[in-house]
Amino acid sequence: MSHSTVNDELPEAVVSALKKLESLTGRIPIAVAVAAILSVGVAVTACVVGAVWWAESWSRQATMWGAAGVGVLFTLGSLHVYLMLISTRRRARDMARDMSAALQHTQSRNQAVMDTAPDAIIMTDGQGVVCWCNQATTSLFGRELPSLIGQGIGTILPVLHRDAIDQWFEQRGFSGRVIGFESTGFRAEGTAFPVSLSARRVELDGELMQTFIVRDTTDAKWAEQELVLRERALASSADGVIITSMTLPNQPIIYVNKAFELITGYEADEVLGHNCHFLQRADVNQPAISVMREAIAQGKSCQVVVRNYRKDGGLFYNDLAISPVLSAEGVLTHYVGVQNDITARIASEAALYLRTERLNAVFDLSPDGFVVLDKRGEVSIVNPAFERMTGLFAGDMVGQSVVAFEDALMARCTASDAIVGEVPGRDLLHMHTPTVRTLLRRVRHGAQEQDTVMYFRDITHELEVDRMKSEFLAMAAHELRTPMVSIFGFTELLLKRQFKDEHRQDMLGTIHKQAGILINLVNELLDLARIEARRGKDFNRRLQPVWPIIEQALAGLKVPDDRPKASVSLDVTDVLVAADTDKLGQAVLNVLSNAYKYSPKGGDIQLRAIFDADQQQVVIEVQDKGIGMSPDQLARVFERFFRADPSGNIPGTGLGMSLVKEIVSLHQGTVDVLSTLGEGTTVRLRLPAQMSPESRGVEEEGKVSTG
């Protein structure tokens, strides 16, 4: 099966169908067909006459005319059908001829493309027997095409012998493909040569076909070996080697060795194709450069000491020897330069200077404060971070003695606020100006009475995080332990003692209630952790009306039987928000649920939603007449596990408002809570919003009309 036959299998099927139709209509001559149709028409007429005559249902004359009419209609219909078949046969014959020509043209074109390819293309069956190959196969392996057809591909590519071809595909391939496999081929005279082998196997009409593309890599291997030899010889030199071309424009660099990279700091790919002038930068007025230019103009060798510059800007003195390379005709083609860095001392000083500049940058950019005292005990360096922390400015502190510095620093604390730690050289300073903060100071004295460095770090946030973490762990452990103790205790009683059905049902109800509390707690903890970890990346935000979200939250609210439903006022019919429906609905539901729980004595629950056109925000407000909160409680309303009712009579996990704040914040909104102890609480969710395009159009039209 040829490659072109596989690709053009569908046109051949169409041609075959058309030829069958032509054969069907072409077997019967036209005259015979017409006579047969007329005979059948007469026979049909006679049958109709006989049937009617026998029935004696019509008069004879009517019978004759009716039979004649039926016969004529049948004959004309038969002739029409036959003529249609004749026309269809002609069209089918013409179509088959055109498609056969197109198929032959496509096959010829594909064969020409395959024969033009420089790589050998070989097609085999599932057993590795060659079915087809292109002309490049002959030049590559030195075998004529007829001698390869029907032979196993393993005769020219031993790695593909018949017993191992399946295993080769499994080990080297992926999804029936192998790309760039290095192997060995054999020519007709038995000469082995390196090849790069790519392959694919497909199943066509239930038959497994395998296609191999083989490329001769002999020249590439020789070139690679020569290149490696040259690289090793030049790379082994401890001096920098650079080769420039004198035949190309701008005399570019075409080779540098590893030592050149180490000396100059430039990678090879950064300098290839550039002129050597970049090593001199702006320092071009050197006598040594003039000597080099004159030697190059005369095609001679020379040795000079020239100032060059590294990639990092550092200066180095280069003992440079250059030598010309001439072609066989005596034409100057290249220059070879050998570099030797003779400025180790100067380079060390430059590196020290660079290191000093970097340390200064670190001092200036560091978020931590640094104060350096020289060997006389006077302030010599104060970085900007220390100024921001303490309000003490470098202009006032530099030159002051360590005593004056300590007095100025302690003036921002009280004596009791400076706590010396257990580890010597560490102080904990509680600042009250310019802001309240806690600083950790560490002091490091230089050797042999050199400079002293004071390091200041603002640990206010760290201490607050540690406090919150400790409180969180304590409250989480308490909230988890309480329901677990109830579940464990009642379960143990049920296992060890027998109770009446009523008592047992009551205990099971308690277990079920506590388990529900535990599940809700874990779910809310997981929701909070997931929201914080993903930072809203899993939110499915889309621009949508806000009122359906609020109505969905109201529908999911379980109002106690003895409480009326909340009073709802939604003036946001045409307001759109970019929000995740479920997450924002959960936030509204949490606020509504809290309003009912923390107003146990009843009272109206009001839900309002309005659009703030000035701020381009939608404001969702929930107000209750419940127990309210004191200012201290209000300050902790968003803390995890915090509940305004510490008695435990009001169910809840203390995570609801934390979830509300996280969800609203990830929607670029804010949460405001107003509360008065004993009078009630108002929670406002503010979210970015906009009017729908239709509403804006109507509003603008109204404004124009009014004007």
* Domain 366-458, CATH number (from 3.90.1150.10, 3.40.50.300, 3.40.605.10, 3.30.450.20): 3.30.450.20
Q: What order do you get walking across the sheet with 369-373 strand by strand? A: 379-382, 369-373, 452-458, 437-445, 426-431, 418-420
Give the separation between CA 71 and CA 66, rounded to whole angstroms: 9
pLDDT, average across residues 529-536:
59
Query: What are 248-268's pLDDT values in tens digits?
Result: 999 999 989 889 999 999 999
Q: Would you state the structure tokens that stand for residue 383, as one six-digit string?
A: 């970085």
What is the reported pLDDT for 1? Answer: 42
The answer to whether residue 2 scores a pLDDT higher than 50 is: no
Give the separation between CA 77 and CA 405, rounded to whole angstroms: 122
- CA dihedral sign of residues 15, 17, 18, 20: positive
* DSSP secondary structure letters along 616-627: TEEEEEEE--S-
pLDDT, average across residues 134-147:
86
Give the separation between CA 416 and CA 397, rounded to whole angstroms: 24
pLDDT confidence tier of residue 414, bands split at 50, 70 and 90:
low
Contacts of 24 (CB under 8 A, 6+ apart): 85, 89
CB 296 within 8 Å of CB 335:
yes
By mean pLDDT, which of 111-115, 218-222, 318-322 is the weakest? Answer: 111-115
Query: What are 6-18's pLDDT values in tens digits?
Result: 344 445 555 565 4
pLDDT confidence tier of residue 314, bands split at 50, 70 and 90:
confident
Q: Would you state the structure tokens that stand for residue 250, as one six-digit string?
A: 């701008």
What is the reported pLDDT for 243? Answer: 92
What is the reported pLDDT for 703? Answer: 40
Largest CA-CA distance found in the chain, in angstroms, rounded: 150
Best mean pLDDT range from 216-225, 228-237, 315-324, 558-567:
315-324
Higher pLDDT, 226 or 40: 226
pLDDT confidence tier of residue 270, bands split at 50, 70 and 90:
very high
What is the reported pLDDT for 14? Answer: 53
pLDDT confidence tier of residue 288, bands split at 50, 70 and 90:
very high
Interior angle at CA 273, CA 270 and CA 274, nearest 5: 75
Give the residue among 690, 667, 642 at the shortest CA–CA distance from 582: 667
What is the reported pLDDT for 147? Answer: 86
The answer to whether residue 379 scores a pLDDT higher than 80 is: yes
Give the separation between CA 35 and CA 700, rounded to whole angstroms: 86
CB 38 within 8 Å of CB 46:
no
The answer to whether residue 505 scores a pLDDT higher than 70 is: yes
By mean pLDDT, which of 69-83, 246-260, 581-595, 650-664 is the weakest? Answer: 69-83
Give the residue among 74, 37, 30, 69 at the shortest CA–CA distance from 52: 69
The answer to whether residue 704 scores a pLDDT higher than 70 is: no
Distances in Å between the alpha carbon of 153 and those of 128, 160, 186? 6, 6, 11
The answer to whether residue 245 scores a pLDDT higher than 90 is: yes
Higher pLDDT, 321 or 176: 321
Higher pLDDT, 171 or 418: 171
Higher pLDDT, 540 or 688: 688
What is the reported pLDDT for 5? Answer: 39
pLDDT, average across residues 172-190:
86
Query: What are 198-215's pLDDT values in tens digits?
Result: 998 888 878 888 899 999
What is the reported pLDDT for 251? Answer: 92
The CATH topology of domain 537-694 is Heat Shock Protein 90 (3.30.565)
What is the reported pLDDT for 347? Answer: 67
Interior angle at CA 20, CA 17 and CA 21, nearest 5: 90
What is the reported pLDDT for 110? Answer: 67
The answer to whether residue 480 scores a pLDDT higher than 50 is: yes
* DSSP secondary structure letters along 10-63: HHHHHHHHHHHHHHHHHSS-HHHHHHHHHHHHHHHHHHHHHHHHHHT-S-HHHH
The answer to whether residue 628 scores a pLDDT higher than 70 is: yes
What is the reported pLDDT for 324? Answer: 94
What is the reported pLDDT for 289? Answer: 92
The answer to whether residue 483 scores a pLDDT higher than 80 is: no
Q: What order do you get walking across the sheet with 120-125 strand by strand? A: 130-133, 120-125, 207-216, 192-204, 177-186
Rg (alpha carbons) of the chain, rounded to whole number: 48
Query: What are 630-647's pLDDT values in tens digits?
Result: 888 888 777 766 666 666
CB 316 within 8 Å of CB 310:
yes
**Fold match, 222-349 / 366-458:** yes
The answer to whether residue 302 scores a pLDDT higher than 90 is: yes
pLDDT > 70: percent of the chain: 74
Considering the segment(s) 117-216 as one domain, its CATH architecture is 2-Layer Sandwich (3.30)
The H or E element containing residue 83 is helix 60-116
CB 159 within 8 Å of CB 152:
no
* Domain 464-528, CATH number (from 1.10.287.130, 3.30.930.10, 3.50.50.60, 3.30.420.310): 1.10.287.130
Instruction: Please state, rounded to an integer, the average pLDDT across all residues of the chain.
Output: 78
pLDDT > 90: percent of the chain: 11
Q: Which amino acid is at 263?
A: I
CB 37 within 8 Å of CB 27:
no
Q: What is the pTM of this model?
A: 0.35
pLDDT confidence tier of residue 41, bands split at 50, 70 and 90:
low
Contacts of 659 (CB under 8 A, 6+ apart): 524, 527, 528, 531, 586, 587, 590
Higher pLDDT, 93 or 322: 322
Superfamily of domain 222-349: PAS domain (3.30.450.20)
Neighbours of 58 (CB within 10 A): 15
Hey, where are the domains in the chain?
A: 3-112, 117-216, 222-349, 366-458, 464-528, 537-694
